Structure 1
């Protein structure tokens, strides 16, 4: 019995060991950084519509039937590949772009399935595939950029490269964790020449800054030297002052004896002066008692009497002034009232006179207006009469010129004779050779000058008629048919001679 129990126990233990061994043989666990790809049976994978023919397990354990199913591991670790790509820019400048790409297999089942199909047994070549993908896209992108764009905006180059490679990396089941452009090599020296102006400007600014710093340092050193000189001067001045005080103290100590003797003599003189002053004060007080006090009393008495008399006179003057002031005020009120009455009377009189003046002015204006109208009417009538007379004379002149001229001469005959006789007005002595006949002839000539004027008028009218084409006007004939007397001027004896 014990033997049977031992055999059974051994069998059970062996079965347990076998079961444990089989479990360990069939159980597979995926590490956090790997995925188990189990093939050998048709399975449906999450995120994939149709079965893949393999199963993907991540982060957990699963049973695998040995001999029926095969288990392989796909690493989910990070990978990196160096980029060294020869490119040509848009300007035709050859460049070498250095960079690094950090990538890994995606964590989702689709990415793991894509990566498993492509890299399951070739994971060591994954970096070369990624390098080729990025090199092609990098050459294409650099060909559309200039060197200046790449230098100033490397992030743009990186972003465009990642965007262009993203779809292909997704097909490979890979994701890009990082893409960095480390360096852009320029074998032609274009970048160096491009940076030369900026480097020169920086060098210039550095030299200017260094020169400015040197200037400031020199100024600071000069100021420090000046302050040192000032401190030295102050120290020397203080030392000289201390030396002078020491010399003065030594001289004072040497002169202590004579000075003490002189001070003693000075004290004696001071005491004697003080005694003399006290004696003078005593005498002054005695004079005050004996002379000044009685004199002050008499002066005070006289001053008091004078002030009383002055007050009396001031009171009388004030009373007189008050009386005068009241009289002046009364007189001023009276004058003011009289002036106001006179002003009112003058005002009333002025108003009345102004009214009378205004009435007189209005009457005179009306009379002047009426007189002006009458004069205007008279002038108008006179002008019309003169115009009518002129028109009548013109008509008469046009029809009978000789009659008009004769009438004018007849109207003005006295003035004509007077004008002819005025020739003798300035004659003081006249000598007549033919006696009374000469006198008669002379007066006859003066009286017949009017006839001469008539003949001249006729000749003038005749000339006017000739110019106007009216014919010649014949000279007037005398009543007996002979020449008028105005044309017969007798000759004097002197003329005959």
Structure 2
């Protein structure tokens, strides 16, 4: 019994050791960034081609002892710095290009079979050098087909052309170009600098034109906005004004109706009052007429009659006086005519005293031509008379002595005497 137990434990121990051996030496786990290649066994591909290996990607497998050998191939990314100098572009301008590429070994069929055949067993440095030389050759080929302006102006298109050019060559090597970035493009003859300056000038010009256009558009938009704002403000003001005018019109209409109604009421009230006062005023008018008849009209009629009578009496008196004065004037004219040329002198002698009073009162200041001095301090009546005659001659031009002399020599004619009321011009 004990020996059986020992034999069983020995068998179990032998099985456990065999399991550990298998796990440590025959069981392989494939990482996500690698591929396992079990060489030695024949395997048919999808296209019908047979190869002497089998692939395991992203899983695990057990190597067949003595018949297979397990190999690993790293699929992680490789960064390659590209530097190409004196690469002649189209037009003969030598360019210098710097860039960076990201490549890796292809992990998908059928490119992975090319990688196994060409890269299996090579180190990463060797693979990177191979990929670098391939990309630089492709880069020179692409540059030869492009002008410096095309290379410099559109680096993205240039990188795409390079990807298209290198894709077939890299696929034959079993490599995949993930990304390619062109970092710098330059030349020793400063051709690109001149292009850059021209482009900068063009860009500056375009930017100034764009800025001027933007300012113009902004000014136009500002003016348009101001116009719209002004029109809106005018519409608002017009609306307010119309509403205010309508309100005022309504208020005025209401006020007019109220004023008209009030005026009609006042007129009706005044009319009623006046109509009520009409009989009173009629009686007052009658009373005033009677009072005027008694106080004014009757005395006025009496005074009128009295004035008419008095005027008739005065007129009769004036008429008689006029008749008498006319008759006297006629007689005076007849006597004047009968007296002949001396009528004037006779009339003046008769009216001498009255005429002298009138003359002395009416004579204004006169210019003295002759002065006759008579001493009248001890004069008698004759001297005073001579003085008077001289004064009369100087003031009126009537020579009284000569007139008396003429009267004494002419036939004596007596003019009728007239009263002081007679007309001198008659």
Q: Structure 2 length normalisation: TM-score?
A: 0.48
Greater share of helix residues, 1 or 2?
A: 1
